[in-house]
Structure 1
Amino acid sequence: MAAFVAKQMMGSQLKAVKGQLPGAGGGDDDGDKEKEEEAERERLEAIAEAEERRKEKHRKMEEEREQLRQGIRDKYNIKKKVVEEAAMPAEPDNPLMRKKKTPEELAREAELADQDEFTKLKNSLETQVNEIKQQIEEKMRSIHGKCVLQ
């Protein structure tokens, strides 16, 4: 099969090189193009067919392995582990293997961080204003008390 695919791939290239040699008869270009297109189509079909056979082979091998696994589970009374998508941790242990964040998620996180900064600033300003209010009220009381006493 590999020889067929290699011949199909290299054959069309060799024909193109042979056609470019001086003295080579370059009379029927339309026929050559049709032949090349047909060869390319055959090559693609051969590749697709080989891929299908490979997938089928691996599917059969996996079925056989699963049958062997099930036999072992039955023999030793082992329950099959059920892998659930929800049970998997959201963040993998390895940070290099984590899912990349979308621009929307990054924007949302930045907005939350900004809100947090604004909230902190707002809270600190509110506390400062309250302290100043208390100081002013104390001074007003002390001034008012002195005015009344005099």
Structure 2
Amino acid sequence: MASFVMKQMVGGKLNEMKGGLDSLTGGNEGEGEKTETGEDPEVVAARLEQEERRKDKHRKMEQEREKMRQGIRDKYNIQKKDESGGMGGFDMADGRIGAARKKTPEELAAEMHAEDDSLVGQLGLTEHVEKAKTAVNGAFEMVKGFLPFGK
């Protein structure tokens, strides 16, 4: 029983000391100055400033790299690739690096007509090849319907 009373007395003193310590260190001050996200405006401003410094640093680094690349191109007489051409047939519009550019219907049609220049096209067998492809695909679909993993 005496230990319980002692803990209560010491605990009360600790709480009083903590309250006094908060007032000395400035704890609980400025809690009313919060943004909609619950952050201090100074912290938000500091974060934005840090982000700007980081972007500026990376911009400078990229400029230095480009100077180095240009020096190498000049030294070895290498022509710079066209910026408009992109990455050799790859489109960066969808935000993925290395993603294949989707072909337009016109490009697909031109590709089909280009096949006429092949041996099959020269022999005039394109119709027969297309019929065979259709027959094989139909047979494959029929067999796939009978197999348990095709459902």
TM tier relative to shorter chain: 0.3 to 0.5
Which has the larger share of helix?
Answer: 1
Higher-Rg structure is 1
Query: If the length of structure 2 is used for normalisation, what is the TM-score?
Result: 0.36
The structure, 1 or 2, with the larger RCO (C-alpha pairs under 8 Å, 6+ apart) is: 1
